[in-house]
Structure 1
């Protein structure tokens, strides 16, 4: 939990959550509600999403509270003593059912379902959406990039341009969940025990009068480093690495070179030949600079001799799909199904379950059903929190979460796993849920005309 969250967590909500909460309390509306979090439609260039951010979210829900300064602020904003007294004693006591982190999912499928007294479930909407939206977005982007690179490692270099510290720390975690091997973000590495990796910046070379001297001095302090060779002239930089290797002999422990600009494919081929011709076949070539899944796929298709990739902004902000059409909607209150009939924004009422079928070891189709149905396939939503506390059975270590994510990605049909355009994955609605939706729709329409 970052310092900002620790200090201001209680008030990380929208104004209208508090106005509705005040009104609910005034009307004594405390019965149980169910809210569903889902993505209405996938971005045009996405065929799947990878659920991420659940464990950090549950930790936040366990610690959700308000400070005396916040109560003073709410009083100044005109909120009632009833609301302030309610928040003074606030402790989330609800149940959460969710897709385990690292689970692949598709549009309209419930990612999380919260069952709690209506005021509680309403208050946490902003927090739930904020945490799961970004982390799922970045895990999904990272998965596409990792799939494009095949077995070659991807490094996260995006901390400098992501949208804030919380996004940087939790985003790095989400991207490793998606298949990235390491991050340059030290705070994320420390906070979540993630593997960290990095090379050097152009400024180190620029700060020296000689590029060769910069290489030599840096390797004296970090013998097994990766040397950045494109500050002045890429090929001449490679030649200086070769010169350093000859000068140091057996003391030369450098692991590789990094290319950060220009025609990466052609420069990699030229660099590889120079290194190999001088007995440096063991040096890796790392490429970075404006990379994403499309550019990496092109480099791979052209058989560029690149051993790993550093990806920054494109992955850190998911630049081709920077937002998801994510929603957190009331689907049940006081035992009755609820929905909205707004055009283009359908909601499936009641508690739900998702059943996933497989064929020949690959996912074949999903069915969104009512909570108590028994259908072919594996049920995806699991109870992860009850009475406001995480279930011990759910608390998995991060390595297990990452393993689950990779298993999920490998079970996707090839047409869904590829970044190329293809048919979408089949998601159905069960007959019982469809009938229930029609029944609730008729009730809502009747109520709307009374």
Structure 2
């Protein structure tokens, strides 16, 4: 069969684990169609993270409202010889009819807090499990990594160079959306840029320099092709290349060079040396960009040591989130037919009921703590979970634009206690659980004959 490069939107209904379909058929056969609530959350932070930046949940909510099973998809399911014709007919008429409440994209979140909750007839809600988890997992992991890089850069721009080492082309494109929300200033990924509105940025590869007989010829030719461009100066001898470039600019005042890029070697030493050479020659306006195996810790060290670097390009450590590439997201049933439900397995407990998160602030606007409550409770602070889908209809007014999500994200992260934004300190943010939510948990445990989970 010919292989398609990307999952087509019409096939998203098949982006499920098999057990979702077999369970749904069993629900259908048993006539179980009461309303259920499923909560998407994580129980613990990955190592080295003080918060996660929620991303992808509003994006996938829109897709959920468009989910369909066409004739071709039904034929593919029929070929598995697992499903009754009546059930396949039910799938052919599938339309999501429920509600989804979600936090705004770019919101810092903590253990046990729902990134979203789905409320719908149980078969509809169950069908969404893997699709929702995939979208939210990828974009949350990448946005969280990008947020750390933005914190480390302390106002200097950070550009995504990670496409070539990401885990698949779908991830490379969707990642750019997460980077935009988290506050990156650009991406080298052209498709990601034009799809998600993040500035396309780039320079040249070493091969361009190598292909020319002389390094100077390559740099000058590129500068004439692209006025204001960034030139890669480390193919052979960085300092020597910058010195010759300064000489050429003295000979030709029409040359317009926006920046030089350092991609190897001792970046602090080279940045300080090149900055001195450029400033001494009157080129204070030419910026210095650094790349080459960078992560948030090496960027922080360069910033702390006052390396005169104006921006950073980050590849592998960003695109693969190499220090912490996964988040143990869970999508758990918390209510069915009006009764609280929970999971009680050791180390995998869940909280029952439909929930809300209230974020309380100090007088100066910084975040004090969160209150995790049942949905119909009131608590100090701002309610974070808001309806994004109602009765199957996507609420366009509730969806922030990419730029608005970016601004809200940067503002929210800036309001976290400084220790939580640190790359070297670990601190637990205080999340209270309301008395009514505790009581709901005890009620669910008693109905199941389980010992209290204290």
TM-score of the superposed pair, with normalisation by structure 2: 0.96
What is residue 393 of structure 2 aligned with on the other side? 389
Report the alpha carbon displacement of residue 7 of structure 1 after superposing the two structures with TM.
4.2
Deviations 1:31-87 (A, max 9, x none): 111000001100120001111112321221122112322212211212111221111
Report the alpha carbon displacement of residue 195 of structure 1 after superposing the two structures with TM.
1.4
What is residue 175 of structure 2 aligned with on the other side? 171
* Structure 2 Cα separation of the partners of residues 57 and 364 of structure 1: 30
Correspondence list, 1:26-425, <5 A: 26-78=29-81, 79-249=83-253, 251-359=254-362, 360-425=364-429
Report the alpha carbon displacement of residue 265 of structure 1 after superposing the two structures with TM.
0.6
Report the alpha carbon displacement of residue 446 of structure 1 after superposing the two structures with TM.
6.3
Out of 240-249 and 161-170, give the one that drifted further.
240-249
* Structure 1 Cα separation of the partners of residues 185 and 150 of structure 2: 9
Report the alpha carbon displacement of residue 247 of structure 1 after superposing the two structures with TM.
2.5
Report the alpha carbon displacement of residue 93 of structure 1 after superposing the two structures with TM.
1.4
Report the alpha carbon displacement of residue 425 of structure 1 after superposing the two structures with TM.
0.7
SS in 1 for 2:416: coil
- Contact 2:58 2:102 survives alignment (8 Å): no
SS in 1 for 2:7: helix
- Contact 1:92 1:388 survives alignment (8 Å): yes
Deviations 1:123-147 (A, max 9, x none): 0100000000110111111111101
Report the alpha carbon displacement of residue 240 of structure 1 after superposing the two structures with TM.
2.7
* Structure 2 Cα separation of the partners of residues 219 and 423 of structure 1: 48
Equivalent of residue 428 in structure 1, options 406, 429, 432: 432
* Structure 2 Cα separation of the partners of residues 91 and 80 of structure 1: 19
* Structure 2 Cα separation of the partners of residues 125 and 28 of structure 1: 20
Report the alpha carbon displacement of residue 316 of structure 1 after superposing the two structures with TM.
1.1
SS in 2 for 1:116: strand
Out of 11-20 and 71-80, give the one that drifted further.
71-80
* Structure 2 Cα separation of the partners of residues 204 and 115 of structure 1: 55
SS in 2 for 1:294: helix
Q: CA RMSD in A?
A: 1.4
Report the alpha carbon displacement of residue 237 of structure 1 after superposing the two structures with TM.
1.7
* Structure 2 Cα separation of the partners of residues 103 and 94 of structure 1: 24
* Structure 1 Cα separation of the partners of residues 302 and 49 of structure 2: 21
- Contact 1:93 1:388 survives alignment (8 Å): yes
The unaligned stretches of length 5 or more in structure 2 are none
Report the alpha carbon displacement of residue 206 of structure 1 after superposing the two structures with TM.
1.2
